[in-house]
Structure formats: structure tokens, C-alpha cells
Amino acid sequence: MYLYRDILKVQSQLLIILFTLWSLPSGWHVYSFSDHALYLSLVEVEHKDFGNTASVKIKVFANDMEDAIMNASNKRIDFLNLSNCERGAPEVEAYFSRHFNYVIDGVLTTLVLTKCEPNGDAIWFHFTINCPDKWSQVDVKADFLMELFPTQSNVITIRHGEQKRFLRITHSNPQEIVKF
């Protein structure tokens, strides 16, 4: 029990450090495509009220996502321009349907894009998923952007009621299973 609490504490601290580094005010320049050294995305799954939907927010560097969509659909979308982001919803949903699988108790969910939110050099994609009210197991595959950036890490926070789980997905470990 103590080891589990210590692991959660370390994971929480790591997530806070990574998020803080990524959220620093832009006095620092994040270079495009092959020039920036950090390939990190954040995923937040919220299902606090045990309803039949959950929210999924994915934060990625906008230029990395532009490159991924270009690679997947041969279409260039400037995600920091909100009107372009909304027009690119089919490409975004298609891309994430191939690279982000969220399976609850054996049932694959479908992401529906509801909103894009620019955040400095990054973009938040807001999705909803239909889901059962109680979860016992979640299988997550999150290999997005890894086809272009092998050092990509995707940090995932899952909130189901009062329970919280943290995952770190990498090229060598693109899938995780958590129990509730």
C-alpha cells in the first residue's frame, strides 16, 4: 500500500514538473518540426460524475500535429487558426481514431471533436466519448505523433469518479491497461 502511494506521488510530481516546463510563458522559443527537443503531449480524461459521457482533452504542439495530419492526409492545417481547426475536424478525428484507442471494459470508444483551443505554441483538442457509468478496466493505446517523432511521450491522466490514474506512453510502450 505504501509503495503504491509512493509511486502515485512520484508520478504526480513528474506530471507537474513536465506540465510546468511545457506551460512556461513564451519567452522561450519552441522551434518547429525537427528543431524542438521535447516531444510531449498531455491527455486528460475526465469522468467524475459517472455519467454516460466523458471528456478527453489532448494537448499537442500545433506544428507537430500539422506535420502528422500532412503525413496522414496530405493536407496542411494551421491549427492555431480556429476556423481552420474546425474545418479540419474530420482529419483530426480520423487521425486520432487510428492513433488513440480508449477501450472501456472491452468496448472501443469513439472520439468526437467538440472544440479546438490554441495555447501558445500548442493546441488543445477537446473531445467527448460515450461510455458506461462505471469502469473496471481501461485499455489505452496512444501512439499519436510517434510515426514522425520516435521520442514522443504521451502523458495521460484519467479521472474516474474520485480515482485518478497516470500513464506514460512511449514508442516502445504504446499501450497500457489500468484497473478501477
10-residue averages of pLDDT along the chain (180 residues): 54 53 41 63 95 97 95 93 87 97 97 95 96 96 96 97 96 96
Give the three cell numbers for residue 112. Answer: 468526437
Domain membership flag for residue 31: no
Domain membership flag for residue 3: no
Q: What is the pLDDT of residue 37?
A: 73
Domain membership flag for residue 173: yes
Q: What is the pLDDT of residue 14?
A: 54
Domain membership flag for residue 16: no
Domain count, the chain: 1
Could you tell me the residue range of the domain that residue 96 belongs to?
A: 37-179
What radius of gyration, in Å, describes the C-alpha atoms of the chain? Answer: 16
Q: What is the pLDDT of residue 135?
A: 95
- CA–CA dist 155, 166 (Å, integer): 7
Domain membership flag for residue 74: yes
Domain membership flag for residue 11: no
CA distances from 100 to 3, 108, 127, 153 (A): 30, 10, 12, 13
Q: What is the pLDDT of residue 7?
A: 57
Q: What is the pLDDT of residue 2?
A: 53
pTM: 0.80
| 68 and 95 Cβ atoms separated by less than 8 Å | yes
Domain membership flag for residue 123: yes
Q: Which of 172, 104, 169 is nearest to 142 (CA)?
A: 169
- CA–CA dist 58, 42 (Å, integer): 6
- CA–CA dist 176, 126 (Å, integer): 22
Other Cβ atoms less than 10 A from the Cβ of 69: the count is 19
Q: What is the pLDDT of residue 38?
A: 83
Domain membership flag for residue 108: yes
